[in-house]
Amino acid sequence: NKMNVAVLFGGKSGEHEVSLESAASICRAMDKDKYNIYMIGITKNGEWAYCKCTPDDMESGKWLQFEVEGSNINLIPSQSRPAGIELESGEIIKIDACFPVIHGPFGEDGTLQGIFEMASIPYVGCKVLSSSLAMDKAMFKKVMDFEGIPQVDYVSVRAYEFEKKEEDVIKMVEDMLDYPVFTKPANMGSSVGISKASDAYELASGIREALKHDSKVVIEQGINAREIEVAVLGSETVRASVPGEVLSCKDFYDYEAKYLANSSKTLIPAQLDEDVKCEIQDMAIKAFKAIDGEGISRIDFFIEKDTNRVYINEINTMPGFTKISMYPKLWDASGMPYTKLIDELIRLAIKK
C-alpha cells in the first residue's frame, strides 16, 4: 500500500537551479518502500512536465528529456476526470500528496499552494497566506513589527517611486538608515538580487538590481552579525531544531557563497549560551505561528556582534534541501534523520 507522492521541482524563479538540487536530494532520501515518486518538473517558462527521470537527471538539468509522452498533469478536477497525472492510455494516477520543492516566487509564495488547494490535493508545507507572507519581505516585516519580534530597521520602495524621483528615495533611505545597507527584491531568495551598499551610488545601483527581480525593494540597515538559522517542524505543535550557524566565505552570504564557492561552512549546533539558544528557538516558533505557518520553515536570525542583540531576518517556507543545506542537517543534529524527516513532512501534509 504505497503512497503516490508527486515531487514538484524547477520553477519559474531565479532559484530554479537550487530547486533541482533540493528535489534530487529529497528523491534520493525518500523511502522507496513507502512511496511511489512521481516527478513533475516546471521549466523556467512555467511549462509543466511529468518525467520519469533519475535524481541525477534532475540535477544535471536534463530531466525534460524524460517527459512521459502523451501525459498530462490535470489539476482541474471534474466528475469524469479526477485531479492527477493523466497517461496517454487515459489512465489517471491519483496523487496522494504533493511535495512542492520549489523555492522563490511561483513555488514558495502561495501561488502553487493555491493550485493544490483548488485541486484538493494535500501538500507539504505552508498554505497560501503563510507562504506569501514569508516570501514578501516587506509584508513579513510588518507582521514581525506587530508581534514585537525585533528586526533591523528597514524601508520599502516601489519601482514607480524610484523611477519617479531617484534622489528622493536615496534621501529618504539616508535619513532613516546608515551605510552599509542591504537592498533586496521583496520577493526572492538564495540572495538573488541582493547587494550591499556603502554609498548613494551603490544604493541606487543596488535598488536597480533588486528591481530586476521584483517591483518592490526592501532596504535594510546592514549590521555586522553572526548568522543563526533554526528549523521548525509541525503545525499545531511546532518543534524547533537546534540552531546552526552559517560561516560565509564571503563578505556576506550571497548566491556564490551559498552554492558556488563551496567553501562556506555551517556549524551545527551553533555555539550559543543556553539562554540565547532558547530565546532564538522561542522567537522562531513565535514568528512561524505569527504568519500561520504549517509544516516546515527555516527561520534566519542575526546576532549583532557589538551588542549581542538578536534580530529575526526572515522565514523561508521551502528552505533548501540540498545535501549541504541547513534544514535537513539541523534536524539530523536534533535526532531526526533525513528519511524520517520526509516521512514526518508527508504525514503532516496528509493530516492538514
* Count of CA atoms in the C-beta half-sphere (13 A) of 97: 22
User: 55 or 189: whose CB is closer to Mg ion?
Assistant: 189
Q: Please identify, using beta-carbon distances, which residue of 15 and 344 lies nearer to Mg ion.
A: 15
Q: Which helix (H) or strand (E) holds 279?
A: helix 274-290
Site size toward ligand ATP (CB under 6 A) is 21
190 binds ligand ATP (CB under 6 A): yes
Give the count of beta carbons closer than 10 Å to the beta carbon of residue 33.
6
241 near ligand ATP, rule: CB under 6 A: no
Q: How far is the CB of 321 from Mg ion (least distance, A)?
A: 11
CB of 311 to Mg ion, least distance (A): 12
| Length of the chain counted residue by residue | 352
Task: Verify binding: residue 102, ligand ATP, rule CB under 6 A.
Answer: no
Taking CB under 6 A as the criterion, the residue among 48, 66, 179, 252 binding ligand ATP is 252
Supply the minimum distance, in Å, between the C-beta of residue 226 and ligand ATP. Answer: 10
- How many other C-beta atoms are found inside a 10 Å radius of the C-beta of residue 247? 14
Q: How far is CA 141 from the centre of its chain?
A: 16
Q: Which residues neighbour 136 within 8 Å (Cβ) at sequence distance 6 or greater?
A: 109, 186, 187, 216
Beta pairing partners, 298 = 231, 316
**Nearest CB to ligand ATP, comparing residues 85 and 197:** 197
What residue number has its CB nearest to Mg ion? 189
Chain residues in the site for Mg ion (CB under 5 A): 189, 300, 314, 316
Tell me the three cell numbers of residue 8: 514538484
- Cβ distance to Mg ion smaller for residue 35 or 259: 259
Q: Which does 14 bind (CB under 5 to 8 A by kind): Mg ion, ligand ATP, none?
A: none
188 sits near ligand ATP (criterion: CB under 6 A): yes
| Distance, CA of 324 to CA of 337 (rounded, Å) | 14
Q: How far is CA 167 from the centre of its chain?
A: 33
110 touches, from ligand ATP, Mg ion, none (C-beta below 5 to 8 Å by class): none
Max CA separation in the chain (angstroms): 66
Task: In angstroms, give the least distance from the CB of 207 to ligand ATP.
Answer: 15
Site membership for ligand ATP, residue 211 (CB under 6 A): no
Exposed / middle / buried, residue 99 (Cβ in 10 Å: 0-12, 13-18, 19+): buried
**Which spans of this chain sit near ligand ATP (rule: CB under 6 A)?**
152, 182, 184, 188-191, 194, 220-223, 225, 227, 248, 252-253, 300, 313-314, 316
